[in-house]
């Protein structure tokens, strides 16, 4: 955005740009690379071009730019996408099998077992051993690292993959966790604001966050291939890289079982602007100085407010409509507002604190 605006004379005052002294022409930046930033000495340059130096813009200008940026993106969504089918070797660098774990049984290859006799997309998948049943007292881990796509605004993140299970129910199970801070902390993908669903190969719903409070879903024996799908929100400042940790844990199998097989992992991100709430739903005033009112179609039962660094600055339960929040103590900036409604739906939005 800055590169674009610096080439447009119209927006130079808005961005805090000032002429560096060169005579103006059809060009709006110095071809010789004049960088008179924040009081730095003027750089010698050709006198036949006009260029601009940067000076620190007032905070009001920054807020106005953020606000108009939200309006400009009123009807757009932005996507980042990744897909691994375990056949295309160019994408396998995103998969890391943890070799520091003794007897880690995750393997990429063609499954050749009794129940795991073919992958979802032929010929390869990632399997708890492509040939043999999983052993007792085993803990195996692999990581999937997304490419990420850094953005100022908050994202929704969708993660999907196909899987087969064949293990002792509850005692032996798989788990998927997510880290937003390069592996320092981890969160179960089935908890919090994450909306998840499990479908069979005919797209029939098997299980979901709305029908189950389970934190262990990947266990027992699946009836063929199942598809797992999750959707959750993140602040854009965290999206430089998201890491998923897939772990399989066994105790003492009653009989020889195949374990867990995963294929066709798909990941994409999106963001939407403030204006994309339903017409009957309001978050006002926006920008806000003191008190923020949230009037949605259903009662908000829980809310979280995150700043642009991904830190939760306010959260709480609620049973009234509209929801009133004191925003007077929030520092100036852009915030992500996430709510869970009484009908178990989740709403995302942004607001600006003046």
Residue 242 in any domain: the answer is yes
Residue 65 in any domain: the answer is no
Alpha-carbon dihedral 54, 59, 61, 66, rounded to 10 degrees: 110
- pLDDT over 70 (residue 125): yes
Of 50-59, 148-157, 240-249, give the range with the top mean pLDDT.
240-249
Q: Which comes out higher in pLDDT, residue 59 or 107? A: 107
The whole-chain average pLDDT of the chain stands at: 74
- Residues 218 and 252 placed together within one structural domain of the fold: yes
- Residues 332 and 306 placed together within one structural domain of the fold: yes
- Residues 252 and 143 placed together within one structural domain of the fold: yes
Asked if residue 242 lies in contact with residue 234, where contact means CB atoms within 8 angstroms, the answer is yes
Taking CA 188 as the corner, what is the angle to CA 110 and CA 129, rounded to the nearest 5 degrees? 20
Residue 237 in any domain: the answer is yes
- Residues 38 and 86 placed together within one structural domain of the fold: no
Q: Which of 209, 239, 270 lies at the terminal end of a domain, its last residue? A: 270
Q: Which of 270, 292, 309 lies at the terminal end of a domain, its last residue? A: 270
- Residues 209 and 289 placed together within one structural domain of the fold: no
Overall domain count for the chain: 3
What is the pLDDT at residue 58?
A: 54
Distance, CA of 80 to CA of 270 (rounded, Å): 7
Contacts of 342 (CB under 8 A, 6+ apart): 298, 299, 300, 301
- pLDDT over 80 (residue 273): no
- Residues 192 and 294 placed together within one structural domain of the fold: no
Distance, CA of 199 to CA of 180 (rounded, Å): 26
Label residue 108 by pLDDT band (50, 70, 90). very high
- Residues 238 and 329 placed together within one structural domain of the fold: no
Residue 73 in any domain: the answer is no
Asked if residue 7 lies in contact with residue 29, where contact means CB atoms within 8 angstroms, the answer is yes
Residues 246-261 pLDDT 10s = 999 999 766 789 999 9
pLDDT (average), residues 166-186: 89
Residue 89 in any domain: the answer is yes
- pLDDT over 60 (residue 147): yes
Distance, CA of 125 to CA of 127 (rounded, Å): 6
Label residue 232 by pLDDT band (50, 70, 90). confident
Residues 304-343 pLDDT 10s = 888 766 677 898 888 888 999 999 999 888 787 888 888 7
Joined together, the tokens standing for residue 228 give: 């797992």
Q: The domain containing residue 326 runs over which residues?
A: 277-353
Q: Which of 270, 285, 309 lies at the terminal end of a domain, its last residue? A: 270
- Residues 110 and 218 placed together within one structural domain of the fold: yes
Residue 322 in any domain: the answer is yes
Asked if residue 197 lies in contact with residue 208, where contact means CB atoms within 8 angstroms, the answer is yes
- pLDDT over 70 (residue 138): yes
What is the pLDDT at residue 216?
A: 80
- Residues 27 and 170 placed together within one structural domain of the fold: no
For 240-272, b/e burial (b = at least 16 CB within 10 A) is ebbbbbbbbbbeebeeebbbbbbbbbbbbbebb
- pLDDT over 60 (residue 239): no
What is the pLDDT at residue 256?
A: 87
Distance, CA of 256 to CA of 168 (rounded, Å): 10
Residue 67 in any domain: the answer is no
CATH code of the domain in which 326 resides: 2.60.40.3080
- Residues 158 and 295 placed together within one structural domain of the fold: no
Q: Which comes out higher in pLDDT, residue 298 or 68? A: 298
CATH code of the domain in which 136 resides: 2.60.120.260
What is the pLDDT at residue 309?
A: 63
For 253-330, list the strands marked E by DSSP.
259-270, 282-284, 291-295, 300-307, 312-317, 323-326
Residue 66 in any domain: the answer is no
Joined together, the tokens standing for residue 326 give: 């004191």
Q: Which comes out higher in pLDDT, residue 194 or 25? A: 194
- Residues 153 and 36 placed together within one structural domain of the fold: no
Distance, CA of 354 to CA of 337 (rounded, Å): 16
Maximal C-alpha separation, the chain: 84
Label residue 69 by pLDDT band (50, 70, 90). very low
- Residues 111 and 181 placed together within one structural domain of the fold: yes
């Amino acid at each position: 955005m800055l590169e674009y605006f610096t080439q447009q004379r119209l927006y130079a005052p808005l961005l805090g740009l000032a002429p560096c002294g060169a005579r103006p022409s059809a060009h709006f930046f110095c071809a010789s690379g004049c960088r008179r930033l924040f009081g730095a000495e003027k750089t010698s340059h050709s006198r036949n071009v006009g260029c601009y130096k940067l000076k620190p813009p007032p905070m009001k200008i920054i807020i106005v730019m953020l606000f108009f940026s939200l309006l400009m993106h009123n009807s757009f969504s932005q996507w980042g996408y990744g897909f691994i089918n375990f056949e295309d070797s160019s994408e396998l660098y995103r998969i890391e099998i943890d070799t520091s774990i003794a007897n880690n049984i995750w393997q990429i290859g063609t499954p050749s077992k009794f129940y795991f006799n073919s992958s979802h997309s032929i010929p390869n998948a990632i399997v708890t051993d492509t040939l043999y049943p999983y052993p007792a007292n085993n803990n195996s881990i692999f990581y999937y690292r997304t490419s990420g796509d850094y953005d100022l605004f908050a994202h929704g993140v969708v993660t999907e993959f196909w899987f087969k299970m064949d293990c002792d129910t509850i005692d032996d199970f798989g788990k998927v966790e997510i880290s937003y801070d390069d592996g320092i902390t981890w969160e179960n993908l089935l908890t919090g604001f994450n909306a998840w669903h499990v479908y069979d190969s005919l797209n029939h719903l098997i299980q979901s966050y709305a029908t189950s409070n389970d934190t262990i879903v990947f266990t027992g024996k699946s009836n063929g291939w199942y598809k797992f799908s999750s959707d959750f929100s993140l602040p854009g400042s965290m999206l430089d890289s998201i890491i998923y940790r897939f772990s399989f844990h066994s105790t003492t199998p009653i009989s020889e079982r195949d374990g867990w097989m995963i294929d066709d992992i798909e990941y994409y991100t999106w963001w939407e602007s403030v204006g994309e709430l339903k017409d009957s739903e309001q978050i006002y005033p926006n920008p806000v100085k003191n008190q923020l009112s949230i009037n949605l179609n259903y009662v908000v039962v829980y809310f979280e407010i995150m700043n642009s660094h991904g830190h939760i600055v306010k959260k709480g339960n609620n049973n009234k409509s509209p929801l009133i929040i004191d925003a007077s103590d929030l520092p100036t900036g852009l915030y992500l507002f996430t709510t869970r409604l009484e009908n178990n739906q989740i709403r995302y939005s942004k607001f600006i604190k003046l």
